Amino acid sequence: MVRVSPRSRVAGWPAAVPVVLVFLVALAALALTALGACAPTGPGPEGGGGPAPATDLPVTRLTPLGEDDGYLGEGEGVSPFTEDLPLLTRMDPELLKAVRAAATEARTAGVDVVVTSGWRSERYQQFLLDAAVTVYADEEEAARWVATPQASSHVSGEAVDIGRTDAADWMGRYGAAHGLCQTYANEMWHFELAVEPGGTCPAPRADASAG
């Protein structure tokens, strides 16, 4: 058990209230915030995440996630043509080029492509993984949805999440013309360069835990 100094207790609470309980509640809230954006219909697929809430609990003394982590506020998406945003600029340049080309083509079909997640820092990915483990209360299930920082293609800059649902659907149908393929069967929003432009995408892996 982590020893907690008296001053980190919540003022006015009985000393018997374990700070760890408060920590867990805060973590659960963070986790729900992060995974609330998980559904394909949501604007922030598989990774919203959120900066720590404004309390003075020990867990929130960590530096909040920010643009330099590739973090985008919950529910937000950006145009793939946005300049100077790390989640885009730290992406594999070929991937970004392909996404922009596909987005331009999608526009002519009346579909607006937004990027809901791109490059991520290791600590952002770890945050998402921790949140998933908390929500699913099962590491194996969490691993189906969120890769480790070591394995994540978002951390290596080789993956992009596309929103919103109509755009992800469009990308699934026509992205291969630009080399973009949905690589996990359970994530319709997640694309990687996986084929030569104009080729046929390989069958997606079942999920992020599949080798």
* DSSP 8-class letter at 205: B
Q: Return d(Cα 183, Cα 172) in angstroms, integer.
A: 10
- Classify the C-alpha dihedral 66-70-75-77 as positive or negative: positive
Q: Which is nearer to Zn ion, 10 or 39 (CB)?
A: 39
Size of the site for Zn ion (CB under 5 A): 3
The binder of Zn ion chosen from 69, 92, 161, 192 (CB under 5 A): 161
Exposed (0-12), middle (13-18) or buried (19+): which is 15, by Cβ within 10 Å?
exposed
Q: Return d(Cα 54, Cα 185) in angstroms, integer.
A: 37
From the list 33-41, 48-56, 92-100, 186-194, the region that binds Zn ion by CB under 5 A is 186-194
Q: Which is nearer to Zn ion, 178 or 190 (CB)?
A: 190
Question: In the complex, what is the shortest distance from the CB of residue 9 to Zn ion, in angstroms, rounded to a whole number?
Answer: 39
Q: C-alpha angle 166/93/183, rounded to 5°?
A: 45
Question: In the complex, what is the shortest distance from the CB of residue 58 to Zn ion, in angstroms, rounded to a whole number?
Answer: 30
Q: Interface with Zn ion includes 158 (CB under 5 A)?
A: no
Q: Could you give the C-alpha distances from 209 to 64, 86, 123, 139, in angstroms and in order?
A: 28, 26, 19, 11
Question: In the complex, what is the shortest distance from the CB of residue 117 to Zn ion, in angstroms, rounded to a whole number?
Answer: 6
Question: In the complex, what is the shortest distance from the CB of residue 78 to Zn ion, in angstroms, rounded to a whole number?
Answer: 15
Question: In the complex, what is the shortest distance from the CB of residue 52 to Zn ion, in angstroms, rounded to a whole number?
Answer: 23
Q: Return d(Cα 191, Cα 8) in angstroms, integer.
A: 43
The binder of Zn ion chosen from 188, 190, 193, 209 (CB under 5 A): 190
Q: Which is nearer to Zn ion, 19 or 180 (CB)?
A: 180
Q: Return d(Cα 17, Cα 198) in angstroms, integer.
A: 61
Q: Which is nearer to Zn ion, 19 or 131 (CB)?
A: 131
Q: Which is nearer to Zn ion, 30 or 91 (CB)?
A: 91
Interacting residues toward Zn ion by CB under 5 A? 159, 161, 190
